């Protein structure tokens, strides 16, 4: 697919206001499940359209016509949190990201204590965790029981480093695409679409992080992620693939 065609894809196909209603409990469980089903179908079609082989979990939902408050019938084991993790694993791990979870260190709250790395080597994991900034800001906002999910990518770092050292070449050959890449990275660093961006780029490591926790008024978890995050991850993957081919960078192989 040519980049001109790729740039026509909407990097925010899902309405953020509707998802905010879901996080605040202003929609029913049935409506939330229906939105999830639509999102999964869209991502499946998007993956097919742009020629990427991702395993997108799908669910079937029955919406009774006669009762606006009827039940949602879906496979009981397809819990939203499980589906979101499957989707996250498929898209992020399939496009060059590694990730793991960590918790705030009770003895030194400016540090994170690694808990689990889903993929990637131990050195890369510890380095990524050490680069995560602004963790104390979460506690200052009243959040407790904080778990931080740390994602890192040498692939993204490699492109950002190349663009920084070759600005004129990128501007001449890849300006529109570069602007979209930067915009996507900013939005992916705020996967709940609430204005909290945690990211860092140093050397060969590009890091972004997001958190799960509660502050007395609201509980935030990975199942509340902005659905646009996943569409953006797919489009970012293709844009990086085009950049790798155009500028002779090492090509990513899943």
pLDDT in tens, 109-162: 556 666 666 666 677 777 888 887 666 666 666 767 778 888 999 999 999 999
Q: How confident is the model at residue 184 (pLDDT cuts 50, 70, 90)?
A: very high
Is 31 or 176 the better-scoring residue by pLDDT? 176
* CB-based contact 221:82 (threshold 8 Å): no
9 belongs to a structural domain: no
Q: Which residues contact 131 (CB under 8 A, 6 or more apart)?
A: 152, 200, 202, 205, 207
Is 233 or 120 the better-scoring residue by pLDDT? 233
The pTM assigned to this predicted structure is: 0.85
| Phi-psi category of residue 214: left, alpha or beta, with phi > 0 → left and psi -120 to 50 → alpha | beta
- What's the structural domain count of the chain? 1
Crossing angle of helices 154-165 and 228-247, rounded to 10°: 50
24 belongs to a structural domain: yes
7 belongs to a structural domain: no
Q: Is the pLDDT of residue 64 over 60?
A: no
242 belongs to a structural domain: yes
The domain in which residue 228 lies consists of 15-247
Q: How far apart are CA 10 and CA 20, in angstroms?
A: 19
| pLDDT value at residue 123 | 75
4 belongs to a structural domain: no
What is residue 184's three-state secondary structure? helix
100 belongs to a structural domain: yes
Q: How confident is the model at residue 73 (pLDDT cuts 50, 70, 90)?
A: very low
254 belongs to a structural domain: no
Least confident of 103-117, 168-182, 199-213: 103-117
39 belongs to a structural domain: yes
Q: Is the pLDDT of residue 107 over 70?
A: no
| pLDDT value at residue 23 | 52
Is 209 or 247 the better-scoring residue by pLDDT? 247
Q: How confident is the model at residue 19 (pLDDT cuts 50, 70, 90)?
A: low
């Amino acid at each position: 697919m040519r980049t001109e065609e790729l740039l026509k894809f909407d990097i925010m196909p899902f309405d953020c206001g509707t998802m905010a209603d879901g996080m605040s409990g202003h929609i029913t469980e049935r409506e939330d499940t229906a939105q999830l089903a639509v999102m999964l179908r869209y991502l499946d079609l998007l993956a097919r359209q742009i020629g990427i082989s991702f395993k997108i979990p799908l669910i079937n939902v029955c919406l009774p016509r006669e009762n606006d408050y009827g039940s949602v019938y879906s496979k009981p084991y397809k819990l939203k949190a499980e589906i979101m993790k499957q989707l996250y694993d498929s898209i992020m791990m399939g496009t060059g990201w590694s990730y793991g979870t960590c918790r705030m260190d009770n003895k030194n709250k400016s540090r994170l204590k690694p808990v689990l790395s889903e993929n990637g080597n131990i050195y890369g994991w510890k380095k990524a965790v050490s680069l995560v900034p602004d963790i104390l800001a979460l506690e200052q906002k009243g959040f407790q029981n904080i778990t931080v999910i740390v994602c890192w990518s040498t692939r993204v770092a490699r492109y950002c480093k190349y663009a920084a050292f070759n600005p004129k070449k990128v501007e001449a050959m890849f300006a529109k695409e570069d602007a979209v890449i930067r915009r996507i990275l900013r939005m992916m660093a705020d996967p709940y679409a609430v204005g909290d961006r945690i990211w860092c780029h140093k050397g060969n490591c590009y890091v972004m992080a997001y958190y799960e926790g509660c502050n007395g008024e609201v509980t935030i978890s990975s199942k509340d992620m902005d659905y646009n995050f996943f569409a953006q991850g797919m489009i970012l993957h293709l844009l990086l693939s085009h950049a790798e081919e155009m500028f002779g960078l090492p090509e990513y192989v899943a």
